[in-house]
Structure 1
Amino acid sequence: MPIERSGPLTWSQRDWIFGLPPSRASSFEDNFSRQIAIAPMPFPAVRAAVRDVLLRHENLRSRARPRRPDEPQDVDPVDERLDEVVTPVPIETAAETARTAERICFDIEREWPIRIFAAGDERGVSRLIVAVDHWAVDGWAIRVLSDDLASATAARAAGEAWRDPAPVEQPIDVARWERSPVGSEHLQRCLGYWREHYERLRRELEGFRPVLPGAGPDAAAGPQFHGRRLRSRRLRAAAPVAAAALRVPAAALYLAAFAAAIGAAEASTGLGLLTLSANRGSPAALRSIRNAVLPAPVFLPGLAGRPFPEVLQASRRELAQGHRSANVEPMATRRLAREILGDLAVTGVTDAKFNYLTHAGLGLRAGDTADDPGPGGPADGTVEAFPARAQGPIYMLVVFEDVATVDLTLRWRCDTGWQHAAEPMLRHIEDLVLYAADPGRTTPVYGRT
């Protein structure tokens, strides 16, 4: 097969690819999926619109080759696999097609990381069902993809080809900058901040031993990554009130509550978190379709006995500072963590990730739907378990603020001990946010919801 060009992987891509077991060519069973309503149009016009978008964004027609060390990413010509990407389906099968699309396990060495199912009837295609492997996109990129598909289909419906003249970042170009002298200098500056973060954390945790077991180097084979989700309408109403009253971003509010829940569950006086940063610092980056997300460090000392509003203000300051040092190679920061923290490098008090997403931030509009982070839809205020998965984060909280509800999704690996603390942690996070919105409430106590 002809190859348009080859090159290195970005730091973010490497973080995903090299976390895969050697026996797995596919990614983390973790797709972004989206349904996009369009005005009815012929399938050939839809196919042409998809081609326009793939031509603009190399990442959507790239294959990762992690076992090839020199240039482990190939970009294919746009027409090589176009008919594998976009497929017509009957509109009456759209719901089942969407459920199947969410669970596609992409072979990222042999396939492009995107599928688009064009659902329609005799009037034409009226819905696009999109699934993209998470190694290729993040929450911002799926918004860009949706906007570009909407613009391209509108142009093709008018009989015109779609061309956006504004430049976009391509992953191979980003990766080459990261390996350039300027990129290397930037990396060393950021690693200085990360070293300071881990050294502060080491001093804070002097003499600490986790109550819950830390993640081992090799967990047992088979499905081992678990999750619980709390869906809450009360949070959706309370969080904006609390954020406005305390003059903090909603992300800082949830981050502080997560930190307090970890501290209570792990009996730790302080901890370090990794909050996921969009990591898009230029107009071309904002227009690009790629997974650019990288973690930023957050240090929160002295949690025991500290009033929640103080923890909240500390999380706000740390968020602002940490994001400036997010654009860094995760493999390098993990080496620093092992060097400085030793056997505490991968524990709930040093390595938990936090991600805050919103319906508006993902660019969802009327007629669109986002991927469902778990099976079914739990009733308001209930905690629901997810089926175990073969891959996933070792410790992580995802906050998704929808139109009417907030989903708190906690994920962990089975050897961490978080399965015993998951529901109390989720309840405590909810209680703390409700308390921040109404300080007249009784001060929350972990495990006493």
Structure 2
Amino acid sequence: MTGPGWSPDARVVREGPLTWAQHEWVQWIPTDTDTSYEDNICAAVPGRDLPVGQVTSAVRDVLARHEGLRSLVRRAGREDSLQYVCPVDDRLDEVVQVMEGEASFRRRFDTPWRRTCFRIGEQWPVRAVLDAAGGRVRRIDLVVDHVAIDPWGMRVLCDDLNHALRARAAGREPFASGPGPGPGSGGLGVEQPIDVALSETSPAGRAYQRRALGYWERRLGEIGKALDGHVPFAPSRAPLGRPGGSQAGESSDQGEFRSCWLASRRAGRAAGAIARATGVSPSAAFLLAFGTAVCAVERSPRAGIFAISANRFSAGAGRSVRKATMTMPVLLPAVPAVPSTPPLSALSALSADSPGAAYRRALADCAAQQLSGHRFANADPYATERMCEEILGDLYKTGVAYPRFSYMDEGVADDLNTLWPAGDDGFPGDEDDRTVTFSPPRPLGARYMMTVLHRPAGAVFSLQWSDATGWGETAEDMLLYIEDLMVWAASGCAGSPPELGDASPAT
């Protein structure tokens, strides 16, 4: 671990503060522990049968282009945390590891190095493992600590490495030289973490922060008002999320965070159908379905969800590897809404919203909240977390007002995640297969979170929770309910809306 007064045992090209997105990560995650590998981001890039030397040069090109991949981080709270950019050649031999003939038999990502626990104050946060045979590289496994990258950034890293490999194979320099936002940027306006951090604390950055924090205060106030008087769901037990799970209060030697996932053709296709019919993004449809499931479990008509934003609004940010993702608050209703009392007359019954009308209105509102929230997602995480605690009060860190939601389409996450199942298109051949798979317990994880990976052919969506939350009791039902909601909405909201705990397959 690092702290105030610590300085790196390395040569330094430049130094500066952390970005708000980096702060959001390091204030919660013990990145210097033996469990920090849990949130590494991994990818595999074809080696093109190039000589090891050429591939090593291509990796060096990428490290020179992106400062965050060759930086050390001092973790010392909001004011004193710093990052130190090192010369690209100082630790290249630590980053590039050659495994001669040892990785070819492995499935994608089934590798020991993806479980690297980066000591970010002592090590650069990246490994490039070359699967080689006869001095030629067949595959490159990339493993990066989340403090330095996000899924969008991994796509950029893969694209840049592929470009560098082609250039080196042709005997060319891959990236234009010239001035960039910071020394060693490799030109082309690549956004570097230190420059972002400095801009966030500039006069313009402080003006933006005032607007962003004002937005957060208003939105959290709306969530607190909507949930005023709600009694948080108290589970009878907190099982491990599998048959025969432990009772509340029992401990596990493997960890206290659980997860399960479902690969669904019908939900992914339904999201595309909803988007075509409404003009609203698939992410909004999944977010609304998740919010409805949370409402059902927490026995509440509304839920506050923190949706993750890509938080990239410039060309330089789009070309950057750095971690940029941040959360934004969204207030969602349970849809289809169920009235608390029956209509008093036939006339009022006729004028009441149909489930379909309620869904379409809620979906449009959800998308509008996403759009406005994206503008102010990059807010000081220390300030926003303090607001959450002060404004939400007893609802702080509860399932009804604290869950996270992450959505990635195939352009970002197609080859980056271990959850894509095997198969021609990555999904079960039998559309009636609704198998929810529970993963082993983890020492690190989210208290409440849903992640969606979406392709046109289908979607993989997963839940995470901790033993203390009680979501393990209903996790399987929640995933199946979300699938049913998506299919029901794609049908034009025909027929009776699904209910939580209805085990019948979606149609």
Q: Same fold (TM over 0.5)?
A: yes
Cα gap change, 1:143 to 1:286, in 2 (>3 Å): same
Q: Of residues 55, 58, 62 in structure 2, which corresponds to 1:49?
A: 58
* Equivalent residues of 1:3, 1:77 under 8 A apart: yes
C-alpha separation in 2, matches of 1:347 and 1:109: 33
Answer yes or no: is the 8 Å Cα contact 1:53–1:152 preserved in 2. Answer: yes
Within the candidate set 271, 274, 281, 2:313 is matched to 281
Identity over aligned residues, as a percent?
A: 39
1:326-361 deviations in whole A, cap 9, x for unaligned? 111122111111111112121112111111112223
**Deviations 1:228-259 (CA, angstroms, capped at 9, x unpaired):** 10111222222211221122110011011001
CA distance in 2, matches of 1:302, 1:158: 57
Q: Which residue, 197, 205, 225 being the options, matches 2:227?
A: 205
**Alignment partner, residue 34 of structure 1:** 43
For 2:460, what is the secondary structure of its paired residue?
strand
Distance apart, 1:26 and its partner CA? 6.6
What residue is the counterpart of 1:245 in the other structure?
Answer: 277
Q: Which residue, 393, 396, 401 being the options, matches 1:345?
A: 396
Greater mean alpha carbon deviation, residues 180-189 or residues 84-93 = 84-93
Whether the aligned pair in 1 keeps the contact of 2:291 and 2:333 (CA below 8 Å) is no
* Residue identity in the other structure for 1:415: A
The answer (yes or no) to whether the contact 1:230–1:408 under 8 Å persists in 2 is: yes
Per-residue CA deviations over 1:52-110 (Å, capped at 9, x if unaligned) read: 11011000011211038535212111111101111222345235484223322222221
CA 1:28–1:131 in 2, change beyond 3 Å: closer, same or farther?
closer
Greater Cα radius of gyration, structure 1 or 2:
2
Give 3-state SS (helix, strand or coil) of 1:94's partner: coil
**How far does residue 171 in structure 1 lie from its aligned partner after superposition?**
0.7
- For the residue of structure 2 that corresponds to 1:242, the secondary structure is helix
Change in 2 beyond 3 A, CA 1:246/1:23: closer
Task: Specify whether residues 281 and 163 from structure 1 end up closer, same or farther in structure 2 by C-alpha distance, changes over 3 A only.
Answer: same
Match status 1:3 vs 2:31: no
How far apart in 2 are the matches of 1:349 and 1:394?
A: 12
Aligned equivalent of 1:156, options 153, 164, 168: 168
Q: Structure 2: 5+ residue runs without aligned partners?
A: 1-9, 177-186, 237-249, 339-354
Asked whether the equivalents of residues 420 and 460 of structure 2 are also in contact (C-alpha less than 8 Å), the reply is: no
Aligned pairs (5 A) from 1:266-415:
266-301=298-333, 304-305=337-338, 307-362=358-413, 364=414, 369-373=415-419, 380-402=433-455, 404-415=457-468
Residue 73 in 1 paired to residue 73 in 2?
no
- 2:204 corresponds to which residue? 182
Q: CA 1:21 to 1:283, structure 2 compared with 1: closer, same or farther past 3 Å?
A: closer
Which blocks of at least 5 consecutive residues in structure 1 are unaligned?
none
Query: Which letter does structure 1 place at the counterpart of 2:502?
Result: R
Correspondence 1:443 to 2:490 = no
With 430-439 and 299-308 compared, the bigger mean Cα shift is at: 299-308
Residues matched between the structures, number: 440
Q: What residue in structure 1 maps to residue 343 of structure 2?
A: none
Q: Structure 1 residue 226 and structure 2 residue 280: aligned?
A: no
Please state how far the C-alpha of 1:403 moved relative to its aligned partner: 5.7
- Aligned counterpart, 1:17: 26
Instruction: Give the CA deviation at 1:3.
Output: 1.6
Amino acid corresponding to residue 137 of structure 1 in structure 2: I
Using the TM superposition, give the Cα deviation of residue 185 of structure 1 relative to its aligned residue in structure 2, in angstroms.
Answer: 1.4
Q: Tell me if structure 2 keeps the 8 A contact 1:30–1:134.
A: yes
Change (3 A) 1:329 1:103: same
RMSD value, Cα:
2.4
Amino acid at match of 1:118: L
Q: TM-score, normalised by structure 2?
A: 0.82
- How do residues 77-96 of structure 1 correspond to structure 2 at under 5 angstroms? 77-91=87-101, 93-96=103-106
Of 90-99 and 5-14, more deviation after overlay is shown by 90-99
Please say if 1:255 is aligned against 2:306: no
Q: Which deviates more, 178-187 or 62-71? A: 62-71
C-alpha separation in 1, matches of 2:365 and 2:194: 37
Taking the aligned partners of 1:326 and 1:346, their CA distance within structure 2 comes to 19
- Is the 1:33–1:101 Cα contact (8 Å) retained in structure 2? no
Task: Decide which moves more: 250-259 or 323-332.
Answer: 323-332
460, 467, 473: which one aligns with 1:420: 473
Structure 1 position 188, deviation (Å): 1.1
User: Secondary structure, in 3 states, of the residue corresponding to 2:222?
Assistant: helix
